[in-house]
Amino acid sequence: TRHLVRSVNESQRTIVVLSQNFIKTVWTDTEFRLAHKTALSSIQNRLIIIIYGEIDDFESLDTELKMCLRASTYLTWGDVNFWKKLRAVLPQNTCIEKLEKEMSKLEICMA
């Protein structure tokens, strides 16, 4: 957890890929809350949530998670303007091509 705190603090943005599997996995809840808390303590909103796939029931989500979705930038994977929107919320010096490749790998692995 200490490594995660340091990584979030040193990052310009923290991207959370929110999927049904992520929600069901208990240990990621701690990581998510830590990233969210760190983002909220910053002057600028540094948390970006990518909704990947279908989320079964938004109403049954943890209260903190629902608040985070309301307060944070979130994008939906598969949106026709996904990459354009992601570029808009990332700092200018971010290597977007590298991120596109990593997300493509994720999509292949999840398929």
Model pLDDT, residue 41: 65
pTM assigned to the model: 0.67
CATH fold, domain 2-110, is Rossmann fold (3.40.50)
Model pLDDT, residue 68: 77
* 39 contacts: CB under 8 Å, gap ≥ 6: 8, 14, 45, 46, 47, 72
At residue 62, what is the residue type? D
User: What is the full per-residue pLDDT of the chain (111 aa) written as tens digits?
Assistant: 566 666 767 777 878 888 888 777 754 567 667 766 666 666 456 788 899 988 877 777 777 777 777 877 789 999 999 999 998 888 776 566 677 777 777 666 665
Provide the residue ranges of all domains of the chain, joining segments of one domain with +: 2-110
Q: Is 14 exposed, middle or buried (0-12, 13-18, 19+ CB in 10 A)?
A: buried
Model pLDDT, residue 27: 46
Model pLDDT, residue 4: 64
Model pLDDT, residue 93: 62
